Amino acid sequence: MTFLPKSDFLRTMVERGFFHSCSDLEDLDHNLRTQVVPAYIGFDATAQSLHAGSLIQIMMLRWLQKTGHKPIVLMGGGTTKVGDPSFRASERPLLDMNQIEANITGIKQVFERFIDFNSKPTGALQVNNAEWLDNINYIEFLRDIGKHFSVNRMLAFESVKTRLDREQSLSFLEFNYMILQAYDFLELSRRYHCVLQMGGSDQWGNILNGVDLTRRVINRKVFALTSPLLTTSEGKKMGKTAGGAVWLNANLYTSYDFWQYWRNTDDADVSRFLKLYTELPLDECNRLSCLQGAELNEAKIILANEITSLTHGREAALNAQETSANVFEKGMAGSELPKLVITSLSFPLTKALVDLGFATSGKEAKRHILGQGIRINNCVETDIQKLLTQSLGNPIKISFGRKRHALIYFQQ
């Protein structure tokens, strides 16, 4: 990058590793230095919670507000009914309105921990694009908005080409998604004077569509800013584990498991993650990143504490750290471990493993047991027919591998 931003926000984006591309870096930098800039990121409501892969976008909105600007969280109550086809091999399952509304409610809980929703000039807004998409007149929309889109250009988008090159079906419904996303930017600019859309680099083409549409329809210059798509040093997608997604809502993924996910960060990822997912000063991030061998565990614990504090609160982070110390250093059970309450006299171990999220099916649970990956009260268990009873203790400590543990309570 030859141009060095002067605005606090863009300088933070560059220095901490959030920056990938910008449609007009110098002009956006000028806007950010001279006025409060409203900026948005869109989130479709496809699940009850966002997962750790969304944290980079959430942190961008947090830094935006901390540097004196206005975050807009756009919930895709309308676009979720269509489904973003970007780089997907198949069409998303369609959700009904009740599911979408419930998902939006769950997702908002995450944002309330990261940004402040208030009436101040920099107070965050949550907006639902169903407000304008649900009542679109199809013929008017085609005439007024559709005329600005070239099918030739849309077919050239990498996300579309990839799907078609693999001879995988792309429905007309999904093909319209990029037009709806562009229309979102136009409407947010009209209604809330939004001048910036942010997102992952895979959304670059879609965001530029909105930049172009807004210029064409209301003659207003707006901007695109994207972050890099992150994978771990092992090439794994952020926010995914062998057991499934690392959800940000504690009712779907416990604060203890969330803390452990970050504590178990690969050595090669510590430096990047400290800058992206914490607010520690860069000098401190660099100091921690330079630690070697066993001392690097200090940096991983700080990383886990900082991001768990942001997501679940400081008390949850400290409880998770204490539980981890009890489990790994002292051999104790740890009160913050995930729990399963059983009301029957006995319970199959395989079903307990599924209910705890240690396995996705009974068949997988049996594989874990036969592979000597399961321990009951620190003793390896190899009996796939094993029944858990109160005679084993109350609670019973179940361990999967070296790093995942849970407690089972009997309640009569």
Average pLDDT over residues 147-153: 79
Residue 152 confidence (pLDDT): 75
What is the tens place of the pLDDT at every residue in 239-251? 776 667 899 999 8
3-state secondary structure of 4: coil
Alpha helices for 8-157 (secondary structure H):
8-16, 25-34, 55-66, 97-114, 130-133, 138-144, 151-155
Residues in the chain, total: 412
Residue 90's pLDDT is 46
> H-helix or E-strand containing 364?
helix 362-370
Residue 327 pLDDT class (50, 70, 90 cuts): low
Element (H, E) at 352: helix 349-355
Other CB atoms within 10 A of residue 132 CB: 18
> So what's the pLDDT on residue 87?
44
Per residue in 328-373, pLDDT (tens digit) is 655 455 556 777 888 888 889 999 888 888 888 888 889 999 988 8
Of 40-49, 84-93, 138-147, 249-258, which range is least confident?
Answer: 84-93
The yes-or-no verdict on residue 89 having pLDDT over 50 is no
Question: What b/e readout covers 240-266, taking b as 16+ CB neighbours within 10 angstroms?
Answer: ebebebbbbbbebbbbbbbbbbbbebe
Model confidence, pTM: 0.79
User: Residue 8 in contact with residue 68, Cβ under 8 Å?
Assistant: yes
Q: Is the pLDDT of residue 395 over 90?
A: no
